[in-house]
Amino acid sequence: MAYVAGYSMLVDAVLPYEGWNEAYFALLSLKAHLQALPGFQRMDIHARDLVSGDVMITIVTDFELLEQILVWLEVGITPEGILNQITPPPLSMTSDMREIVV
């Protein structure tokens, strides 16, 4: 089956190490939830340890159509929403939506 994704939401965050386990398992739960949404293609979580002891993560969530990702961002649970709920909260976080150009 071909992989087709047209739009991605990217979230970059730095988490205190103490919040990593909670964030990771909450994000895995979100990924399972997203699988039921129309147009959802995949969610990847990339992480690495920093010299400071904190954890840098990048979360990429792909949808097939612009309308589908916009509905999810407006009314759905997002990685940003999940990360804002963990304790301790992220030290920094940015997000961006991008179109995949092939």
Q: Specify the higher pLDDT residue, 2 or 40.
A: 40
pLDDT tens per residue across span 8-35 = 999 999 999 999 999 999 999 999 999 9
Q: Is residue 24 part of a domain?
A: yes
Q: Is residue 1 part of a domain?
A: no
Instruction: Kindly indicate the confidence band of residue 100, based on its pLDDT and cuts at 50, 70 and 90.
Output: confident
Domain limits at 38? 7-99
pLDDT at 5: 64
Answer whether residue 4 shows pLDDT above 70.
no
Q: Is residue 2 part of a domain?
A: no
pLDDT tens per residue across span 70-94 = 999 998 899 999 999 999 999 999 9
Q: Specify the higher pLDDT residue, 5 or 7.
A: 7
Q: For the beta carbon of residue 39, count every other beta carbon within 10 angstroms.
A: 18
Q: Is residue 82 part of a domain?
A: yes
Rounded distance, CA 29 to CA 70, Å? Answer: 21
Q: Is residue 27 part of a domain?
A: yes
Q: Is residue 54 part of a domain?
A: yes
pLDDT at 76: 86
Which residues touch 65 (CB under 8 Å, ≥6 apart)? 6, 7, 39
CATH of the domain at 48: 3.30.70.100
Answer whether residue 55 shows pLDDT above 90.
yes
Q: Is residue 26 part of a domain?
A: yes
pLDDT at 3: 59
Number of structural domains the chain divides into: 1
